[in-house]
Each structure stands twice: as structure tokens, then as C-alpha cells.
Structure 1
Amino acid sequence: MTFDSFGLAEALTRAVRESGYLTPTPIQIQAIPMVLSGHDLLAAAQTGTGKTAAFTLPLLHRLLAAPAPRDARGRPLPRVLVLAPTRELAAQVAESVRTYGAHTSLRALPVFGGVGMQPQIDALARGVDIVVATPGRLLDHLGRRSLDLSAIEVLVLDEADRMLDMGFIHDMRKIFARLPARRQTLLFSATFSPEIRTLAANLLRNPQAIDVAPRNTAAHTVQHVVHPVPQSRKRDLLVSLIGSENWYQALVFTRTKHGANRLATQLADAGIQALAIHGNKSQNARTRALGDFKAGKLQVLVATDIAARGIDIDELPVVVNYELPNVPEDYVHRIGRTGRAGASGRAVSLVCSEEQGYLRDIEKLIGRGIERVAVPGFERPAAGAEPAERAPGRRTGRPAGRPAVKPARPNPQHPASAS
């Protein structure tokens, strides 16, 4: 099957070909016809499955098929609103719209905080067709009356599960109340959690459902490995691995903003080009760091979970869990940045004894054991090392630093458990 099979406008299929894509992914095969037919859609798809094109292509086709409504001054009113949880994801979706709409006159505008308000106000005043926004900044524009949502025909919720996790539900409801009741709504989520199903039941009308990846599964193209290491030796082990494994582009996750800053500084001191991105960084700094990383000018990007949403890099070779997440689902989100679109990737976790409970929960979630590989020389704390830091308590209220558990055995019933 090719993209020509969908009956999309020639300007769109030409842009797809120029982007190097020939064959649609499973989510695109299922979603594009449903979106074109006007159905509401509830879709579960992990990052890296091609979900952005699954909604941008049919929506661009729809906008090309009819003239844009205009305000009293003759300026086009936005007809599509895409809500995203983070600035990076909003910027990524807007860039995809520009890429696929390169041979059209349709205009998309990313709307998020951390950058000046006035350029966004000016762009909205000139008229746009698609607004891609984070909830907070969108409400700022609605409060200033710089954005008119009265002509919105389609609402897209991208990574809706993350928006709920980040506490945006009240902002989202305020936005929903300002939208036309008659509209098409598309909801994309990594999982069909009970919270997502509740949101969908209140928001969607007779939706079609798509689930292209079983809940909380990791891509089979990703090789997982755990390196047991004392907390006090993690930095040294990471530096050693970057050199010995020749990692030229590694995305490294920490739990906290402070931890990301500290690790990036330590790596730079070791002669490794590294920068950190997190919520306290200015948007310009985050954009520059991400741009350098994508371009291969930056060897290591150290990120927190929220800041990493929206990172979309073709063939990212390795993701490193410098610290395991205290919510096991976040492990799946993290490693979804590698092994995308059929490419191979590696997920490397540096795990101290205090994190064994987190590791067990992750293995239970993904339904497989993860191979443990001890790196010679890093099994014990260095002489005179400070006591290991305690892992912080998890959100479920379990006390920090629970006793280490025996590593889970690989599941013999799972074909990938020995990888």
C-alpha cells in the first residue's frame, strides 16, 4: 500500500514523497481513512508509530477541499486546533504540518509559553488555518481575545494521557467549553487508561477505536539491558560507556531538573558535549539544545521526562536511563525514542540497589525480564566513595529506599526475554 491509495490531494502526496516516506505505517493505514470520513477517533499509539502524519495529512486534505471561513476583516479563521502537553511536541506537530503542507498555502502556528506573546498575537491577527497549542498559553490568548475558536471544525488531542498526567484537565475543560459543539474530535494516547476512556466518553461522539500497539508494550526492535552499578559510580560508568561504545547521539534521562543540570555539567567536564533540557530552561535554550542534538552537533542530551516529550529523531541509537523512573509507564515512553519505524535501538539502564523495586515494576509492566550485564570495574563503590543517594519515594506513597529485591528472571514464555 502507498500514500496514493488514500486519495489525498496531489500536493500532499508529493510532499510525503519528498520527505522520503513511501509506505504508510499501521496507524496511518487505519486512521487516515477514518479521519477523512469525518469520524471521531480514539487511537492508542506509542510514539514513533507515525501518528502525527496519521492526523495531519487527512486534516490538510480536508482544509484544501473547502474555502476558509473569514472574520469581518477578511482574515482566515483557524479551523483545526491541536492540543499538546509540551512545547517540544507542539513545535514538532507544527513542523510536520509545514512539511506536509509545503506545496499548499495553508498556515500552522505553534502556540506555547516560554517565548514572547506578541509574535503569536501578530501571527494570529494575520490569520492561520491550524493552531497547535499547549493548554496554558492557549488560555492566555483566549483571555486576551487574540484567538477566535468559533470556526474550529476539528479538535485533536495529542498524547492526551500525558496532558492528564500533567494536570491539564481543568484547562482542557475550559478550552472545550469555547469550541463549537459540532466538530470532529481525534484523541491520541499511548494507552487506553480508565482516565482516557472517561475523557473519551465525555468528549467523543460514536468514535472509531484504533489500538496499533498493545498497552504499555515496548518496541520489539529495542534491545534492553541493565547495568547494575552503585549510585556513586553511575557517572563514571556513563562516561566509560559513551567512550567504549562510541555513542555519538545518546538521550539520557534523569528524574529531576537539578539532576539533569548536574549530570550535563559533569559530562562536559569529562570532555563530552552535553546539555540539559527541562522545564526551567528557557524555550530558546531548549530549542537550541534539541536542534543541535538532532543535527548531530551535540553528543549527549540530558532530559527530564516532561521536557523529552516531542523529541522526534530518526534512528536515535540509544536511550539511557541514568535513573529509573518511579512510574513504570514512563519507562515505555522514554525508550520509545529509540527503535522507531522499524529501526533498531538500545535502551540502557544504570540501576543501583535502591532502584531494584522500580526495575521489578517495569519488568512486570512490559511482561519480560531485562538482561543484567555487570560492567567489570563498576560492580562496587570506588574506594572512599560517599554513601549512595537514596532513591526518592514513588507517587504511590511507597517509602524511599526499600530493600533491594532479587532480580526478576527472564520470562521463558516471552520470545524476547533472552535478548
Structure 2
Amino acid sequence: MWADKLKLSKQLVRTVTEAGFNNPKEVQLKTLARIAGGQDLLVAGPEGCGKTTTYVLAVLNRIKQGFGDAPRVLILVENKEKVEAVSGQFKLFNKNKSLQIVGLYPAPGIEAQMDALADGSDVVVATPDRARAIYLKLGLNLNKVELLIVDDADLIIKQGMQLPVAELANSIAKAQHLVFTEVVHDKLWKMIDPFMKLPATVEVEELSETDLVTYEQLLYQVPNFRTKLNLLYLFLADAELFTKAIVFANTVFTAEKLYKSLQQRLKHEVALFNPEFFDVTGFKDLFEFKASTSARILIVANENSGLTDVLDIPFILHFELPLEQEIFIKRVTNPSPQEKNETLAITFATDLELNAVKKIEQAIGQKIPVAALPDDLHIEKEQKPETEEKKAVKVKNPDPEPGTAFHEKKASNAKTYNFSSGEKAKMNNKRKH
């Protein structure tokens, strides 16, 4: 039952119960009372854990009567579909028919949405870009906003809409801030730091109860693509440890780029799965690769390989996560857990890929351990898209030359990975393969 400590009105509790929500979820138990207390919150939880319902109930509990002259709540979401979904939640729970909910999203004819705002609004649900556009046209009055909610913050960042979020937040004189996300990472903190002062963080984990046995896994979080390349070479350059390894990329283009970059350094030790050109070292069969005495690294493109059976390969490296999480799960599932198997599955992920990692963790019912980056890894600086485009025009060969994309190790640093003693011992067991 909905407890009194959640500080919801009796009418709202009755409405929620009638709608079939008999018991509050973990996220509601952890946040509703704190929202009512006026605290800034950063709430992290998986899809379906009840984040949207949480803030809809908080808003309805806060606004007892509609005024209609200017919005008191601004909710920013990722796209039109989410605007409509959130508006639908308000209609489900809103028994106060005088409360005006207005949705703003990119669509032909901005005037119609400006007219809707002029007619009166209490809650505005909007995409950041459309809200900003109407605000700059003086059609969105933020002077009375007392609650700013950013939902799906990680997806908003993935779409590159941090700037309109920050501009809208900074245009509100004083408000309570609630940010909901599936994952928390550096790019998220960079977006919210200017307007959220010491927010409390609430995390909700809802993992599947599926008893799935996987290979040993490690997750390496890196800032960008070029640092991924550096980390990949740093590992694979150790021929004694990485005796056989498969590297998965999403597209043929990326797979070929990885092949050319690694082949500059490792020569015949690198091969491509199902190569399109005769002059490329490659294999069309995984058994051929396993039997090869010279090739120890196989680059595979997810988009056309269909390769999921990687039994007896000591190292599986996902340079990129496949678009279908089922492919990843099948690759890392241990088909013979009763037998001793030394396969290690390593995943590289940037901030923008952590969302997919969280969904995989939710599906397999376990967290993937995060490993510390090696001390001698060269961290590449972030580059602006405009700069990268200009360079792409000037440079004929996009493949990184030695000393650019990769950072050569000093002799004194060779094989000194920043692994714990347990991780290093497990990886050393792969040499017998």
C-alpha cells in the first residue's frame, strides 16, 4: 500500500490505487518524500523502474489548483513520443481538470504551440530544443517556474541537447531541480553542475532474476573512440598474454579501420573475418583462425558476421557493443559452466555507450565489474565535431599513424597493466591456449 510517509494527498493516493498502482516502487519509496521536502535530486534507474510516474505524482501533489497564467513546472524530455507519453501519465492521474498541461516538440507551425502557451499553462512538457526556441521568441514565460525536471537526461545528452537544457535552467531564477537518468557519467555531471547545487543522488537497481552464467567479464570506461584505440593496442601488443583474441566492432568500416591500424604494428598477427578484398589477411571460418599458428587477433564486424559462438577463445573484446543486446549476451554466456573455462570477455565503453551496458546488466542479472584503466594508457583529449570534420577533409589517410592514435609504451612500462593481482592471474591463465 502507499504509505503516509510518501507525503501524497489522500485524493492522489486514491487516484493512484484506482489506476492499478497498488504498491509504490523502490524509486518512489526513495524519492517522493525528498521531492516534497524541496531537495534537488539526481535519480538513476533502469527503464521501467517508475521514474516518470514518480515525478508526475510529485507534480500533481505539489500543484493543488491550476492558475493558468504561466507554467510552474517545466519538464524536459528527449523527443515528441516522450512528450506525449508524459502528458498521457498526467491525464491518467490528474483529477484536477483545471490543471493545464502543454506539450512542446519540433513540428511544423511553431505558432500553434505558442498560442497554446498564451491560453494558459501550469505544466509544460517539452523537448529542450523546442522549449528554447519558443523561449527565445518570448513565447515561454519561465518567471514562475518553481520545479525543473530533466527526464532521460542520458538520452538528451546522446542527442547533443545539453546547451538548450543549460540555457533554460539558467534562465529560471530559483527552482527545485530533479534529474532522472538511466546512467550517470562525466558528460551528465558537466551538463547539470552549473544549475544543480549539491544534489542528493538516488540509485535504483532492478536486475533480472534470470540465473545466467557468463564468462568472466571486465568493463573499461574510456572517454572517446581514440582512447579506445590506444587501449586496444596496449592490450593486444602483449603477445604472451593475448594468445588468441576476437575483437568485435559494429560496422565493416570500423572493422577494416581497426585491422589497418593494428596491422601497421602487429603485421601478420592480425586478421579480418570475411574480408572483402583478396589482399587482406582473413578467415571465413572461426576454426581456421583457431588453427592458425601466425594469426592471433581476429577483427569481426557485427553487422554481417552472425558470429556468436566463440567457445575456446581466451579473449573476447567488444570494441563496440552490438545493436542487439541478445548478440552480446549469447557471446558472453558460458555454455559449459560445469567445465573449467578461462575465457575472459572485455568490453570498452564511452559515456554514451553506458546506457547500453546498463540494459545488458539488467538482462543478465549481474553487474559487469569496472576495471581501472592501465597507468600507461594515453588518454586522448575530446575533439569538437567541427575540428574533426575539417581534419577529415585535409587528411587523405584517416588511419592513425604510429605516435598519433596510439601511444607507444616505454620499455620500462611494458606489460605493467593496472590490473589487480587477481585479474592479472586470471588473464595469465590464457597463455596455455
TM-score (norm 1): 0.51
- Is the aligned partner of 1:91 residue 2:77? no
Structure 1 pair 114–3 and aligned structure 2 pair: CA distance change class (3 A): farther
- Structure 1 residues 233-382: aligned runs within 5 Å: 328=321, 361=347, 365=357, 366=360
Structure 1 segments of 4 or more deviating over 4 A? 221-226, 322-327, 347-352, 362-370
Alpha carbons 2:207, 2:361 under 8 Å: kept: no
Amino acid at match of 1:47: E
Tell me how large the CA RMSD over aligned residues is.
Answer: 3.9
Q: For residue 160 of structure 1, what is the aligned residue in structure 2?
A: 153
Task: Give SS of 2:42's match.
Answer: strand
Q: 1:368: Cα distance to partner?
A: 10
- Alignment partners' CA distance in 2, 1:77 and 1:369: 43
Classify 1:23/1:398 alpha carbon distance in 2 versus 1 (closer, same or farther; 3 Å): farther
Check 1:224–1:111 CA distance in 2 against 1; reply closer, same or farther (3 A cut): farther
Larger Rg: 2
Partner SS state of residue 63, structure 2: helix
**Alpha-carbon separation, structure 2, partners of 1:89 and 1:326:** 31
Query: Cα distance 1:195–1:349, how it changes in 2: closer, same or farther (>3 A)?
Result: closer
Q: 1: CA distance between counterparts of 2:346 and 2:176?
A: 41
Q: Output the TM-score relative to the length of structure 2.
A: 0.50
How far has the Cα of 1:199 moved from its partner? 3.0
Deviations, residues 369-402 of structure 1 (Å, cap 9, x unaligned): 97xxxxxxxxxxxxxxxxxxxxxxxxxx999xxx
Count of residue pairs the alignment pairs up? 249
2:208 matches 1:220: yes
The answer (yes or no) to whether the contact 1:76–1:127 under 8 Å persists in 2 is: yes
Structure 1 residue 5, shift from structure 2 partner: 4.6
Change (3 A) 1:146 1:12: same
- Cα deviation, 1:59-117, whole Å, max 9, x if unaligned, reads 211111x774xxxxxx5210000111111112111211221113442121111013542
Query: Which of 76, 88, 111 is the aligned partner of 1:118?
Result: 111
CA contact (8 A) 1:8 1:61 kept: yes
Q: What is aligned with 1:72?
A: none
Pairing 1:134–2:127 present: yes
Aligned to 2:63: 63
Code of the residue aligned with 1:51 in structure 2: it is K
Q: Does structure 1 residue 45 correspond to structure 2 residue 45?
A: yes
C-alpha deviation, 1:190, in angstroms: 0.9
Aligned to 1:187: 179
CA contact (8 A) 2:66 2:100 kept: no
Q: Distance in 2 between matches of 1:201 and 1:29?
A: 26
- 1:324-346 CA deviation, whole Å, 9 max, x = no partner? 99854x96xx87xxxxxxxxxxx
2:295: which partner in 1? none
Contact 2:104–2:126 (Cα < 8 Å) also in 1 = yes
Shift of 1:205: 2.2
Q: Compared with structure 1, are the counterparts of its residues 184 and 92 closer, same or farther at alpha carbon in structure 2 (3 Å cutoff)?
A: same
SS at match of 2:193: helix
**Unpaired segments of 5 or more residues in structure 2?**
215-249, 252-305, 309-317, 332-344, 365-397, 401-433
**C-alpha contact (below 8 Å) 1:3/1:22 kept by paired residues:** no
Q: Is the contact made by 1:11 and 1:104 (CA closer than 8 Å) also made in structure 2?
A: no
Relative to structure 1, the CA distance from residue 99 to residue 362 in structure 2 (aligned partners, 3 Å threshold; closer, same or farther) is: farther
Residues 200, 173 of structure 1: alpha-carbon distance in 2 compared, 3 angstrom cutoff: closer
Structure 2 vs 1, CA of residues 106 and 327 (structure 1 numbering), >3 Å: closer, same or farther?
farther
**Separation of aligned partners in 1, 2:165 and 2:115:** 24
Structure 2 Cα separation of the partners of residues 39 and 46 of structure 1: 22
Matched with 2:17 is 17
Distance between the aligned counterparts of 1:37 and 1:323, measured in 2? 53
Cα deviation, residue 169, structure 1: 1.4
Q: Match for residue 77 of structure 1? A: 70
In structure 2, the residue matched to 1:173 is: 166
| TM-aligned CA deviation for residue 126 of structure 1 | 1.2
What is the SS of the residue equivalent to 1:198? helix
- Supply the AA of the counterpart residue of 1:187: V
Whole-angstrom distance in 1 between the partners of 2:329 and 2:184: 30
**Secondary structure of the structure 2 residue equivalent to 1:21:** coil
| Partner Cα distance (2:151, 2:71) in 1 | 18
Unaligned runs of 5+ in 1: 69-74, 227-254, 257-321, 336-346, 353-358, 371-396, 400-419
For residue 196 of structure 2, the aligned residue among 182, 204, 208 is: 204
